[in-house]
Amino acid sequence: MTEYSVDYQGVLEEIQDEVRPFFGKGKNADYIPALAIVPGNKFGMAIHTVEGEEFLIGDARDDFSIQSISKLFTLMQVLGFEGVDIWSRVGREPSGTAFNSLVQLEYEKGIPRNPFINAGAIVVTDILASRSADTSRRIGDFYRMLSGNLSNRVDETVALSEQEHGYRNAALANLMRSFDNIQSPIPDLLDVYFRQCALTTSCADLAKAALPLACGGYSPIAHKQILTVRDAKRINALLLTCGLYDAVGSFAYTVGLPAKSGVGGGIVAVLPDHFSVAVWSPELDSYGNSLVGSKALELFTTKTGLSIF
């Protein structure tokens, strides 16, 4: 099947029917109480093509917590800074461990493996904080610019829930501080980090926000170049190798798209020069990725024949 013959809406409708047997086989992220109460049978999916076409199914316009997908957008911001050498402070390799692991970070002297595990994202947020007087607002404004939706906001209940149960993230930040890889005051830094993870979005908004990675760094929504072509390519490479934690190999094998997941149940993926696609379903697999969302994306690339491979 070629791209030009794909009935995207029809494919989405088929997927919505075919994923039904997978509901109830995962589990919401219960270590963040505000996420544990989201109905597990929610499902939405959105495609946005580089030509400007949009296709939606299910709960694609419902808001959910962006969580770790926010790491993608803070990385995009930091790579836009001139003269910042982010890669002296964070690596570019898959972790092979849990996204909030302390063991590897200790062994590697406070340098996180990549910017998409929690430790790496905290370093990226620290770099962003060094360039901004109001980092939380800057992160939110950047995402709203990319999504084109001014209603994307911080869910204060989720942010508070994360703060009250963020002991592991505090440990990561303090450990990195002991290796001089964190400069900001840790309470302030963690407040920004928890708030960026508590941004609300929808599949429709998320697909739009990720379009620069499908368009060589250009945002058709903001009508401006967000990244260089080189940086867009490099982020896509990192998404493929690091975007789904220690399940990246399985995801590349079954789906074949650069992608980023979050424990709110969202996944966003791109096919450069073609489209971005976002899916949301809150029940997670054992790796912390949306179980139904992963299956939906596998069905999508199988049915359409569209992937990077």
Closest by CA to 73, choosing from 189, 180, 152, 7, is 152
Alpha-helical segments (H) within 56-185:
70-79, 103-107, 118-129, 135-147, 156-164, 167-178
Ramachandran category for residue 52: left, alpha or beta (phi over 0 → left; psi -120 to 50 → alpha): left
Count of H-run helices and E-run strands, the chain: 13, 9
Q: Which of 16, 18, 19 is nearest to 292 (CA)?
A: 19
Can you tell me whether residue 35 is helix, strand or coil? helix
**HSE on the CB side for 151, CA within 13 Å?**
8
Q: Are the beta carbons of 46 and 204 closer than 8 angstroms? A: yes
Question: Distance between CA 219 and CA 109 in Å, rounded?
Answer: 37
- CB-based contacts of 137: which residues, under 8 Å, 6+ apart? none
Q: How far is CA 52 from CA 93, 121, 274, in A?
A: 33, 30, 10
- Nearest Cα to 199, choosing from 243, 153, 231, 156? 153
| Residues annotated catalytic, as ranges | 68, 71, 193, 245, 263
Kindly provide the b/e burial profile for residues 163-176, where b requires at least 16 CB atoms within 10 angstroms of the residue's own CB: beebebbbebbebb
